[in-house]
Amino acid sequence: MTDFAGRKDSVAPQPPELISPWHTPERAALQEEARRFAHDTVLPLADELDRQKAEMPRSLIDAMAGKGWFGITIPEAQGGLGLGVFEYCLVSEELARAWLSVGSILARGQGLGTQTLDPDRRADLLRRSAKGQWIGSISLSEPNAGSDLAGVQTRAVREGDDWVLTGTKRWAGFAKGADFVEVLARTRDPEPGESRSAGLEPFLVLKERDSFPPGMTGRVIDKIGYHGFETFELTLDGVRVPESDRLTGLYGDQGADADSGGFAAVQRGLNIARVHTAARAVGVARAAVEDSQAYLQERVQFGHPIGDFQALRFALADMAADVAQARAYWQQVAHLLDQGEAAESESAMVKLLATEMAVRVTNQAMQLHGGNGYTTERRVERYWRDARLTTIFEGTSEIQRRIISDRMLPRAGG
């Protein structure tokens, strides 16, 4: 295909999918639908807009909403597709293959911002979420609290029937375009002997799209990649939230206990987010493999396509094997989550392995492209920039290693 820059990148034919224990005709059809949409609709927009650091158009979000993808994990009774983590990640991998941010925007649905205290309102918001009419931003981190969420210092002080939020939040993606922002804030300091996370509660800050509510301002963070929507540092100066908008949990996961409350309810959502990140990383890495496959046949040196040279052929083979391995693992862990397993170690493992793989594979893809890979004339530089983020967000690689090792080894004196 010839794109806006006149280059001739082509998406190489996808090798046949490996048949897995989790393969069904319904999942295959869903995957094929997402793959066509990613190639025909998302990829041309990514080629045009990413280099401008521009946002994805609302029409694209509406098109995904029309397919029901913002409600993949929402029960059919609430207007969703009634599917699981597996299908959610399956669609996200395909979309991320075209543009990482589009694979990510689906997480702003799936029941996010619906765990209100009123069950009737919760049901109404779930229906809106499933239709893509209730798309949010989640704001957990702060300038001094990223990996250590228990260090959150944004305060929520009760005043009558309201809570008043004050503090600074960081890395709030899509905050301006969203219908709401979920904010993690501290309602009290921990008592002696309590966990450091005691007193942390999520709050629902309602807003109009493309603006901020009274008391909230946002500064755009200038990222090197992950374009498609803006990411903000938010300042909250007396943002008022009614008690009815204090939430019972984060992330909108329909498999979580809605009454488990506050910080404790975050964990399952974090595990799903880690598997979702692994699937997105696989999508980005797969893009690098497919574009490299095409380039090795297109580029001629010394009278031969460079794909004739064994060193380059073997590098491509290693890349493809790494992608296939990571895909098989995220599918396994997604299946465990759908079966109700906590899978905390497994979620950390697949997030660690898949994202580190994506960095390695996209880096090798740039090398295979030679000097052409270090230009904006080829998509591979976009994959490289986006892959690098996957080892950082939703918990850094170091945090994943800590989670895994803490469940394998006791600490001295503990």
Annotation marks residue 356 as catalytic: no
Q: For 181, phi and psi rounded to 5 degrees?
A: -125, 125
Counting other chains too, the contacts that 243-246 makes at CB distance below 8 Å and 24 or more residues apart are 243/117, 243/161, 243/162, 243/163, 244/116, 244/117, 244/118, 244/121, 245/116, 245/203, 245/204, 245/205, 245/206, 246/117, 246/163, 246/201, 246/202, 246/203, 246/204
Cβ pair 266, 340 in contact under 8 A: no
The Cα 326–Cα 339 span in angstroms is 20
Residue where the block lists tokens 């998302």: 42
Closest CA to 23 of 342, 335, 350: 335
Instruction: Indicate which residue of 48, 233, 394, 398 is catalytic.
Output: 394
DSSP string, 236-263: EEEEEEEGGGB-S-STT-TTS-TTS-TG
The Cα 176–Cα 172 span in angstroms is 9
The Cα 328–Cα 286 span in angstroms is 13
Eight-class DSSP state of 51: G
Active centre residues (catalytic): 394
